[in-house]
Amino acid sequence: TIRQNGFIIYQSYVSPGAFEITDLHPTSSNGDLDVTIDERDGNQQNYTIPYSTVPILQREGRFKFDLTAGDFRSGNSQQSSPFFFQGTALGGLPQEFTAYGGTQLSANYTAFLLGLGRNLGNWGTVSLDVTHARSQLADDSRHEGDSIRFLYAKSMNTFGTNFQLMGYRYSTQGFYTLDDVAYRRMEGYEYDYDYDGEHRDEPIIVNYHNLRFSRKDRLQLNISQSLNDFGSLYISGTHQKYWNTSDSDTWYQVGYTSSWVGISYSLSFSWNESVGIPDNERIVGLNVSVPFNVLTKRRYTRENALDRAYASFNANRNSNGQNSWLAGVGGTLLEG
């Protein structure tokens, strides 16, 4: 059984001894592959394979499409909820190529995308696409522009390292996204009041937007390093430039993830500098996930749905002395 991000993506019976899986289709997201081998004598082996890929890749002859329609809901109080339609299509071509395209349609927004990706074997995977968009913003101004996106991903299994580099370049000032069009005003702030701590009565700015500063260049880097039995380290970073201003956004996060007697946990530190927000923000975070079978001290079985459930806890503290807490329960009801 192979899981990615908690979801089963592959199951098969294999012969005793060494084996090779050759029919696992490329997955649509990054994330380590958690492999579970259930042996006939009841023993269970678990190990993790670092995995990184360009999400659009498809095998030759394989076609995939997605259609979505509904109200745009971002959870941002500064935005409206326009109705939109979205469609994407991907097709696997010879020589490890994948062609893909898509569209987003709304009352004040129209966008079309065309792209091409390729599996380069030992050199990783790469994709390039172009988006053309027409937008009407909150001040009723109309804009038209293009965006070119480049994505590269490489997994170095020998060292247990995943490397992903994503570069965006917005070649014209007139390019906007559906998220931009949803704003009710050209400029504004969003505040968060849901914090505890010594400054819990002081709301913090969690988002600032100024649609006169359209996005220009964006560079994103993600690296994760497996430490085998000692967990893994990761670092992520983003740098965003804008038109009509010399200011930019910079964000990075470093973290460590591991597990102990079945309990998964992670520690992280992030730093954020954003246009329009006066103070740099630093956040320390802790995440813990405890499977129910650890709490009940019973052996894991796939047949028992309770054993596939877990309790989670998340805690964050920012540089202003404000704390946030979140607890929940999750799991898989039907496996397969």
* Helices within the chain (DSSP H only): 178-181, 292-295
Taking the CA atoms of the chain, what radius of gyration do you get in angstroms? 23
Question: Residue 68 and residue 102: Cα distance in Å, rounded?
Answer: 11
Q: Which amino acid is at 281?
A: E
Q: Which domains does the chain have, with CATH numbers?
A: 1-49 (2.60.40.3110), 53-331 (2.40.160)
**Per the confidence metrics, is the pTM higher than 0.75?**
no
Structure tokens given for 31: 């994330």
Local confidence pLDDT in tens for the 336 residues of the chain? 676 655 566 777 766 655 556 566 555 455 556 677 766 655 556 655 545 556 688 889 999 999 999 999 887 889 999 999 999 999 999 999 999 999 999 999 999 999 999 988 778 889 999 999 999 999 999 999 999 999 888 776 666 666 666 667 777 899 999 999 999 999 998 876 655 555 556 666 778 899 999 999 888 888 888 887 888 888 989 899 999 999 999 999 999 988 887 788 889 999 989 888 877 889 899 988 888 777 666 555 555 556 667 788 888 888 877 777 888 887 665 554
Please give the pLDDT value at position 37.
73
Question: Of 108, 105, 106, nearest to 211 (Cα)?
Answer: 108
Residue 287: strand pairing partners: 266, 314
Q: What angle do CA 156, 161, 162 make, to 5 degrees?
A: 85
Kindly list the distances between the CA atom of residue 106 and the CA atoms of 69, 118, 131, in Å, as whole numbers in the listed order. 10, 31, 16
Give the closest residue to 102 by CA, choosing from 64, 158, 51.
64
- Half-sphere exposure (CA, 13 Å, Cβ side) for 178? 19
| For the chain, the helix, strand and coil percentages under 3-state DSSP, each to the nearest 5 | 5, 55, 40
The pLDDT assigned to 28 comes to: 47
From the CB of residue 7, how many other CB atoms can be counted at a distance below 10 Å?
Answer: 11
What tokens does 314 get?
A: 């998340």
The Cα–Cα gap between 291 and 259 comes to 11
Name the residue among 257, 76, 230, 48 with its Cα closest to residue 157.
Answer: 48
pLDDT of res. 97: 95
Collapsing DSSP to helix, strand or coil, 185 comes out as: coil
- pLDDT score recorded for residue 221: 85
3-class SS at 184? coil
- Please name the helix (run of DSSP H) or strand (run of DSSP E) that holds residue 295, with its range, or none: helix 292-295
> Per-residue DSSP letters for 36-61?
EEE-TTS-EEEEEE-----TT---TT
Please state the φ and ψ torsions of residue 230, each to the nearest 5 degrees: -105, 20
Q: Which two tokens mark 153? A: 């991903």
Residue type, 292: F
Report how far residue 16's alpha carbon sits from residue 12's, in angstroms, rounded to the nearest whole number: 13
What token pair was written down for 135? 């937008």
**Long-range CB contacts (within 8 A, 24+) of 102-110:** 104/178, 106/72, 106/82, 106/178, 106/181, 107/82, 107/83, 108/82, 108/135, 108/136, 108/137, 108/181, 109/82, 109/84, 109/133, 109/134, 109/135, 109/136, 109/176, 109/178, 109/181, 110/134
